[in-house]
Structure 1
Amino acid sequence: MHFIWEIETMDRLTQQGSTRILIFTSPKAGSGTGREQVPRLETLLCELGVEVRVVNQVDQLRRLVNEDTADGEHGDTIVVAAGGDGTLSLACATLFLSDQNRPQSPEDPSSSLAEVGRSSGHVAVLPMPLGTENLLARHFGQLADADDVLRTIRHGQLFKLDAGLANGKPFLVMATCGFDAEVVREMHERRQGHISRFSYLVPVVNTLLRYRFPKLSLNVDGKDIGKCCWVMSFNLPKYGGGLKIEPNALGDDGLLDVIVFERGSIASGLRYVAGIWTGRHLNAKDVKRLQGTTIRVDSRRPVAYQLDGDFGGQLPIEITTLPAAVPLLIPAVDK
């Protein structure tokens, strides 16, 4: 059976019962902007005679998708992840990157594709951006308006996105350790409910005053890179606040793009922070750019790492890539 989204000119909703829509909203997500678009999308789909359900529990989402792929009666399933980056990551981790269905040999791309194909069946995820940053949706140009989401459901194209595992935890956009991860760690401890960009102001100031940029040991694809003070790896060229830290990262090349800030003094660390904010960090001679499929970072002192803007834990961290692990439905590109 061919996936109906492989044919870009076809309207997926013209054939009765060919596509089922599950709108997934995380119960932990805040109020967010544009939440009224979720019931509006549900109404639009119902008016078209499409089977649609709103789901807000991970176990329920997993059960419904497994039922669909097992009995084959519902054809293809599109999961609309209505929320921020965390909601999208949760949906993708549940459907494609959990212990039960993620590839067992990340270093083998053919193994990854085979495992994902068996586990995911006829399923794709569509991001409906209702969060603070919405990094992935912004990258692909997906808007939160119900009409735009419906257009992507009907005519969007499939993009097989790489993913990463950091100490066994999945991520889609980035994994970093050092200064910015310390900001995320403090934000994690302070967070109460929905956050905005202004919520990061106090954590940023506190980290600027207290962080000492301890030395890190970096290894990429088995090669010792040496000492540094800050490591950032990207699957996509996006970061919070609209910052462009690694503009060349591609989400479907099977590689992570690594930015390495070498010098560990406080003065150099603050210079790196200023360089990132002004977009000039890549011009510095003590900033390296690498690519790889496996990354290991360690330190003798406690250093935080973050995944897609969420606190992940403390070093050491071991990162591997999962090529083409997540089938995304994104807006069609005009040719």
Structure 2
Amino acid sequence: MAGQESKVIVNPVGSGGRVRRLWPELQQVLRESGLEFSAELTERPWHAAEIARRALDQGFRHFVAVGGDGTVHEVLNGLVVDGTIDPAVSLSIVTGGTGCDLVRILGVPRDPVQAARGVAGGHVRRLDIGELHCQRAGNPHRRYFVNVAGLGFDGEVCDRVNRSSKAIGGTIPYLSSLVFTLFAYRNKDVVLKFDGQSQSGTYNSVVVCNGQYFGGGMWICPPAVPDDGIFDVVILKDLNNLEFLANVSRVYKGTHLSHPKVQHFQAAEISVESRQRMFIQAEGEVVGEAPATFRILPSALNLRV
């Protein structure tokens, strides 16, 4: 029965084709671990979400995402029905795509073979997820994320990354796209509302964090905890190009929160508005534009680690 089987969803183009090359070995490791499963390989953007939703309707309750953060993002969105995830549903992650920022703080091995060996066992950790309402092609759009979402410069960088090759994976494409984007980007006039408060200013980025890392290893929010029922929000204020470049290394080290033009606070719900165009990324995928509202959904996802 599907309910006793796991559905393995594989992104073969993850990390410039690394997942495709590894998949025969990973498949064998999963079988040897005792996991009963059926597997499907994605063929196009958003296919992982479609596979997950169809498998959910067929009765599958354990899902394995094989790929990077974008693959996990798609599978997660396929599992959410009417704003909730069935408590009987659980997700495992086998890394292999570009970035893999989510697993850095979850206890999931970053080595794909080691991660595959642990899928059949492990324990369940209940994670918060974020619900995002924004605009996409002029229409209301809703997405869910488990790690980090961002608006402004962050979204512009991810747009450039996704239009370029990810073949070399991880930090290098993000950092090179960051530098190219920096010289064309202009900071935005933003109005924020969060938990009954409001503020406005000219900002470079607004980053809404459930996890700690993004951009292939940037430690954007060291205090963030993915199961504490609240977002950590990091605002990069009106940094000029020289200030930004001078502090990039601090973001990788996680020491930037003390900078006078960086603000950090916690909120369960936050809305972001701007008269200028602001791209939004979630898990490294460009999902829409502002205005946007983010809401935390506590303990919504069962992650098997």
- Scaled by the length of structure 2, the TM-score of the pair is 0.82
Matched, 1:207 2:181: yes
- Deviation readout 1:183-206 (Å, 9 max, x if unpaired): 112223x33574624333543222
Contact kept, 8 Å, 1:142 with 1:149, in 2: the verdict is no
Q: Does the alignment pair 1:62 with 2:53?
A: yes
Kept after mapping to 1: 8 A contact 2:273/2:292: yes
Change (3 A) 1:289 1:122: same
**For residue 23 of structure 1, what is the aligned residue in structure 2?**
8
Q: Distance in 1 between matches of 2:262 and 2:53?
A: 43
How far has the Cα of 1:232 moved from its partner? 1.2
Structure 2 distance, partners of 1:147, 1:205, is 34
Distance 1:276 1:148 in 2: 27
Alignment of 1:188-207 (within 5 A): 188=162, 190-191=163-164, 194=167, 196=169, 197-207=171-181
Task: Give the structure 1 partner of residue 104 of structure 2.
Answer: 138
Structure 1 residues 179, 127: closer, same or farther in 2, change over 3 A? same
Distance 2:173 2:33 in 1: 41
Match of 1:74 in 2: none
Q: Which residue of 2 aligns with 1:177?
A: 151
Deviation at 1:291, TM superposition (A): 0.6
Structure 2 equivalent of residue 85 of structure 1: 69
1:244 is paired with a residue of what secondary structure? Answer: coil
| Distance in structure 2 (CA, Å) of the matches to 1:260 and 1:193 | 27
Provide Cα deviations, 1:187-236, integer angstroms capped at 9, x if missing partner.
Answer: 23x33574624333543222221112122221112311221402111001
1:43 alignment counterpart: 28
**Larger strand fraction of residues:** 2
The answer for unaligned runs of 5 or more in structure 1 is 1-16, 70-76, 104-114, 331-335
Per-residue deviation, 1:149: 2.4
Summarize the alignment of residues 171-320 of structure 1 with structure 2, pairs less than 5 Å apart: 171-188=145-162, 190-191=163-164, 194=167, 196=169, 197-229=171-203, 230-263=205-238, 265=240, 268-270=243-245, 273=248, 275-277=250-252, 279-320=254-295
Bigger Cα displacement from structure 2, 36-45 vs 227-236: 36-45
Where structure 2 has 5 or more consecutive residues not aligned to the other structure, the ranges are 42-46, 134-141
The offset of 1:39, in angstroms, is 2.9
Which residue identity does 1:252 align to in structure 2? D
Distance, in Å, in 1 between the alignment partners of 2:261 and 2:115 is 43
TM-score between both structures, scaled by the size of structure 1 = 0.75
Greater C-alpha Rg? 1
Contact 1:228–1:264 (Cα < 8 Å) also in 2: no
Aligned residues: 288
Which residue is equivalent to 1:166?
A: 132
User: CA 1:165/1:272 → structure 2, altered by over 3 Å: closer, same or farther?
Assistant: farther
Q: Does 1:149 align with 2:140?
A: no
How far residue 85 of structure 1 moved from its aligned partner, in angstroms, is 0.8
Name the CA distance, whole Å, in 1 between partners of 2:220 and 2:297: 22
After superposition, give the CA deviation of every residue in 1:51-105 in whole Å (9 maximum; x if it has no partner): 3211235444433333336xxxxxxx42111111111111111013xxxx143xx
How many angstroms does 1:41 deviate by? 3.9
Specify whether residues 215 and 45 from structure 1 end up closer, same or farther in structure 2 by C-alpha distance, changes over 3 A only: closer
Structure 2: distance between partners of 1:266 and 1:60: 42
Cα RMSD of the aligned pairs, angstroms, is: 2.8
Q: Aligned partners of 2:10 and 2:33: how far apart in 1?
A: 22
